[in-house]
Chains A and B, each alone.
Chain A
């Protein structure tokens, strides 16, 4: 948060309640321009509500925010000209074709009919959905829908883009495509506010991260920062032969620390930072135990939460949440 970079988002004390539930309970954010800023938190932490306030969809109950220098309440219309939103529910019209969606938005943004059409075709081509452009969106796959959604957000390139859980439910290939698009946007000068429940996603894309829980920011920093505060990741080793596991466990226990035996018969893991992990792997190699694979795995969102709040992330943990950790 150096004062020399102008801020893309400057929020202080944002609050929003629904009935007696405080969805957002005093969020402060300082997001620099020209990068991806991650907002990390479990379902129901207040990420989406925060985005909806910043994108001028709902007015905050209290607090204030400026987006690219403009107040989100008194200058809402100017803010709308500068931002675009890719919501958690895909923000495209399922009952229209992909192409019609893009032409519709082009027209609403002020393009002439021919210009809107050629812009739509250019985007369909670039986002690899040209073949399906004439199909109704409800028949699109999850990945295609997401790409169309992002294409719809850049019919006119926004200065700030909100990406709300862009890869939830996507297969790894589609996820990588979305990440590539996000990187390309940043390279062309767009700032991205990314909401996610995956530490890995924030780590891949974001330069700065705010961790949000129960409507408040509970930690802020670079991904490295955050991981350091969480402490070690885990060294996970898979042996060629499960018969060596007991011996490997003994060696790792001495070199690294407490070892857990994984469900997989030839695998074991231990909490470790990078240096410790290297020593542990070297020990195993020196003892002549053949290794099939080893990796230093990142702490999961659950572990981040455990470290920051002393309790696990508070939602019915979906299987996808572990999948990426």
Chain B
């Protein structure tokens, strides 16, 4: 048994008591302010561990190099012609891969005690989810920018210029907003971050490869071509291609946005409900 009165801790105690008593309660923050604060949290994490961006940027850059120089000549006749075809699609792939990590990081959060604290705070309930998505969107932009910059370094010169490239990036990021709710639901349902990663990539890999990102679907067998044509990833890649080419394909853009909105409409409420009850 230690006598607490004589320990050196007593000096701290005065400061602790001062710190406890000096707190007038500020008014509650608004929903937007709370969400932005969570966005700031996401950004801090990237700043502390910038290496985590490697995961999401290295793979697409690898694909870019491999496909362009290995298959480009065979598929499109020349590597530069293939680069023009595939880069807008690789932009899609790169950013869509990043959305999987939104689910993974949500799941990682849940395995720690910190979410309990967030949920015991008197704040707008969806704020943590929306905020981390805001933070993630910064990662989407980085992942997309890396692909475009590497592409330009390899000789990619889109007819739509910088404006077209930025428009394509914006469209892809908006689509990813919608899609990321699907992975958030996975993040809430599965037990470990690894399971989320595996399930996520099991879905996103076939969807990106069975699309027009790498090859022109006209060369495919009939049933596969039919699937590729209705695959939302193809439609998004077509829209991205059209924007970069400076000839926006209104239909593909509208369909892409509609798919994103539909995904958000279904999975966002599901996410908030699961987050509350878990």
Interface size class on chain B is 35 or more
Given contacts A91-B114, A96-B45, A122-B22, contact A83 B120 (CB under 8 A): yes
B37: Cβ under 8 A from any A Cβ: yes
In the assembled complex, the Cα of A100 lies from the Cα of B121 at a distance in Å of 17
- Indicate which residue in A58, A126, A128, A136 contacts B18 across the interface (CB closer than 8 Å): A126
Q: Please, how many residues of chain A have a CB less than 8 angstroms from a CB on the other chain?
A: 60
Instruction: Let me know if A24 is at the binding interface, CB within 8 A.
Output: no
Given contact pairs A110-B27, A126-B18, A80 touches B122 in the complex (Cβ within 8 A): yes
Contact B48 A157 (CB under 8 A): no
Which chain A positions have C-beta within 8 A of B277?
Answer: 58-59
Q: A89-B113, A177-B9 are in contact. Are A107 and B29 (CB under 8 A)?
A: yes
Chain B CB within 8 A of A154 CB: yes
Report the stretch among A179-187, A258-266, A270-278 that lies at the interface: A179-187
Chain A positions 47-73 with a Cβ under 8 Å from a chain B Cβ? 52, 55-59
Residues from 143 to 198 in A contacting B, C-beta threshold 8 Å:
151-152, 154-157, 172, 176-177, 179-181, 183-185, 187-188, 190
Pick from B9, B15, B17: contact of A125, CB below 8 A.
B15
Assembled-state Cα–Cα distance A16/B9 (Å): 40
Check if A90 is an interface residue, CB within 8 A of chain B. yes
Residues of B within 8 A of A181 (CB): 13, 16
Q: Which residues of the partner chain B approach A247 to less than 8 Å between Cβ atoms?
A: none
In residues 100-155 of chain A, which contact B (Cβ within 8 Å)? 100, 104-105, 107-112, 115, 119, 122-123, 125-128, 136, 151-152, 154-155
> Can you show 17 pairs from A to B with CB atoms below 8 A apart?
A55-B116, A78-B122, A81-B25, A89-B112, A89-B116, A91-B114, A92-B114, A95-B44, A96-B44, A107-B33, A123-B19, A126-B16, A154-B19, A155-B23, A177-B12, A180-B13, A190-B20
| For the complex of A and B, 6 pairs with smallest distance between CB atoms | A89-B113, A110-B26, A126-B19, A91-B117, A126-B15, A91-B113
B interface residues, Cβ below 8 angstroms from A: 2, 4, 7, 9-10, 12-13, 15-23, 25-29, 33-34, 37, 40-41, 44-45, 48-49, 112-114, 116-123, 277
With A55-B120, A125-B19, A177-B9 known, 19 other A-B pairs at CB within 8 A are A57-B116, A57-B119, A58-B277, A59-B277, A77-B122, A80-B120, A80-B122, A84-B120, A87-B117, A94-B112, A96-B41, A107-B40, A110-B28, A115-B26, A122-B22, A127-B19, A155-B23, A176-B4, A176-B9
